Chains A and B, each alone.
Chain A
Amino acid sequence: MRDFWRALARNRLALVGGVIVAVLAILAVAAPVISPWDPNRPDVKKILNPPSNRHIFGTDQLGRDVLARMLYGARVSLAVGFVSVGIAATIGILLGSAAGYHGGLIDASIMRLVDLMLVFPRFFLLLAVLAFLKPSIWTIMAVIGLTGWMGVARLVRAEFLALKEREFVTWSQSVGASGFRIIWRHILPNAMAPVLVAMTLGIPAAILTESGLSFLGLGVQPPHATWGNILNEGKDAIELAWWLSVYPGLAILLTVLSYNLFGEGIRDALDPRLRQSAGRVVSRAR
């Protein structure tokens, strides 16, 4: 464990990423306290004001403060990222451990389901599902989580395949521990490290997906501000007000970048060998 912290502390980029991740989380939680303006109060006298001392990031078409909206947007974006990754990880762990531990028909059918889900281009599936549902923050979280568990399932299964042959597992089996107990108490804790890395890297992917959907106007709906729907509203004033299109995008970029740096730092510190499994191309949600 001490090796882990030492390796992480030596990775300067990962540290910077980690600090930004922490600062963003604090800003999001403290938004109601630190926000200089009410994010939803329109002001007809301040429509599309460029950035100034009073409104650092300017105001939007309704005269609302962009910085305040972005702070509140961070709450939504981070919450969607965390909850949807939580859902995805739960499903992935359940199915992946069942497949890896039991093998045979269970394994085969779960893995075929994974193959099947991976065939759907994610945005097409998301749009088809969202068109049937009443849009809300909760549906967005659920839908992103339910379409994003396949990577974790594969990962957990691979870990289980390797771990279930080890002595401590055969020992527990020989003293008659139940399958559930062996999975939950013995194998899973040993398989959690790569899952935590995958979750850290899954959060930015979920944030990108949410902001993409909200940008299309099919994600989180106004009056809730999210970075994606501020960009969507700003798009109509693109020739007049660059600040509406630049700052929220920068926020997404910075958030995703920090989470990626931090997540990859954790991965390298946990196990340098993991660096070689460069499966990132696949895990990127688009």
Chain B
Amino acid sequence: MLAYALRRLLLAVPLLLGITFISFMVIHLAPGDPVEIQSGDMAERNIREAYKALREMYGLDKPLYEQYWNWLSRIVRLDFGRSFAPDGRPVLTKISERLPITLLLNVVEMLIILALAVPIGVLSATRQYSNFDKVTTIFVFLGFATPDFWLALLLMILFGVQLGWLPISGLRSLNWEYLTFWGQQLDFLSHLVLPVLVATFGGMAGFSRYMRQSMLEVVRQDYIQTARAKGLAERVVVGKHALRNAMLPIITILGLSLPGLIGGSVIVEWIFAIPGMGQLMVQAAFERDYPVLMGNLVIVSTLTLFANLAADLAYSLVDPRIRVSRRRR
């Protein structure tokens, strides 16, 4: 197991370098000569100043290999420079304030998706073509097709504006300081309801579909027939023999869909004004706050890489076949 883990870790090193290299290439999309933009327009002048600061910061007039080396040695020291925003704070501080919120949201979403999608998938697989299966299939297709930002708007109209049951922006109410301890927790949770609902809707569709598919395949296997033949209760056959094997590919899918889930938090955080990494990213894109954009990109993709790695290791823990043979593609 340890050898396998070490090998996977080693394979992650070139990917880490790759992340820094692609992010480095993105910086070079900046037009070579900022003087091209000539206008008294306020917005364009800001852009021009941002480019100038960018050139100074990354030394864009130096040879490429020197630039990349500088960029790399800064990143290794976790030095992402200072934000171009008026506050001018270090990028790392800005990100570390927001990272826990995005992580919390994504972990909660993931748990809810798993807790709901697994039983839904199992039920619709064991009752293939039943009414339950048909209804969930409709929901799956709707889940794939519904733009998450639109769902967010509709829920805001319904629960926020019309009914007034739930808060629609931020993480705390204005009177947060005056609430009791439990009141504060309740207030926080109520702010999470809509964003989590929106973020889980699309993910649910994919996972329950996949779970159904995986279950349908497992149920056809010989060992399930054997289990039935020796007279085990259907509950045991499905819940123990089939479920365990059907869950295996879900771990891989979990790892693969992480970038999608995390990417989804950009839109959700922006709409619900949640101060996380996604919101920071959109603000930075509007303000052309390049150090923040670059720092965000590198940190988020590095985290995704390690989450993928964790999913791989978890998979090899529950399925010993992986450790022995080389990883299947």
What is A's interface to B at a CB cutoff of 8 Å? 111-113, 115-125, 127-133, 204, 208, 211-212, 215-218, 231, 235, 238-239, 242, 245-246, 249, 252-254, 256-257, 260-261, 276, 278, 280-282, 284-286
Contact = CB atoms under 8 A, between A and B. Distances in A.
A124 B266 contact: yes
A286 B153 contact: no
B157 A245 contact: yes
Given A124-B296, A286-B260, A239 B161 contact: yes
Contact of A116 (B15, B285, B296): B15
Contacts of B146: 253
B147 interface: yes
Top 9 closest pairs, chain A to chain B, by CB: A281-B206, A249-B150, A121-B263, A123-B263, A257-B145, A256-B145, A132-B29, A116-B18, A121-B259
B8 to A, nearest CB: 12
Contacts of A124: 262-263, 266, 281, 296-297, 300-301
Interface string B150-178: 10011011000100000000000000000
B26 A129 contact: yes
A116 B142 CA distance: 31
A119 B26 contact: no
Interface stretch (B61-69, B71-79, B287-295, B315-323): B287-295
Q: Is the interface of B mostly helix, strand, loop or mixed?
A: helix
Interface of B: 14-15, 18-19, 22-23, 26-27, 29-30, 141-142, 144-150, 153-154, 156-157, 161, 202, 206-207, 209-210, 213, 217, 253, 256-264, 266-267, 270, 278, 281-282, 284-286, 288, 290, 293-294, 296-297, 300-301, 304-305, 308, 329
B161 A260 contact: no
A260 B145 contact: yes
B202 A284 contact: yes
6 contacts: A123-B264, A124-B266, A127-B266, A132-B290, A231-B150, A282-B260
Nearest to B287: A131
A222 to B, nearest CB: 14
A128 B293 contact: yes
Given A116-B22, A120-B301, A124-B266, A216 B209 contact: no
A119 B259 contact: yes
Given A238-B153, A261-B141, A120 B266 contact: no
A121 B26 contact: no
B149 A215 contact: yes
A253 B205 CA distance: 14
Contact of A260 (B144, B156, B281, B304): B144
Given A119-B305, A122-B259, A128 B141 contact: no
B44 to A, nearest CB: 10
Of listed A113, A218, A281, residue having the most chain B CB within 10 A: A281
A284 B149 contact: no
B262 A121 contact: yes
B278 to A, nearest CB: 8
Most buried by B among A115, A131, A218: A131
A282 B154 CA distance: 26
Given A120-B301, A253-B146, A238 B156 contact: yes
Contacts of B296: 124, 128
Contacts of A276: 213, 217
A157 to B, nearest CB: 9
A99 to B, nearest CB: 11
A273 to B, nearest CB: 12
A211 B14 CA distance: 34
Nearest to B28: A132
B144 A256 contact: yes
A131 B31 CA distance: 12
Contact of A281 (B142, B210, B282, B286): B210
Most buried by B among A208, A246, A252: A208
Given A121-B301, A211-B149, A231-B153, 6 more contacts: A113-B18, A117-B22, A123-B281, A130-B285, A212-B149, A252-B145
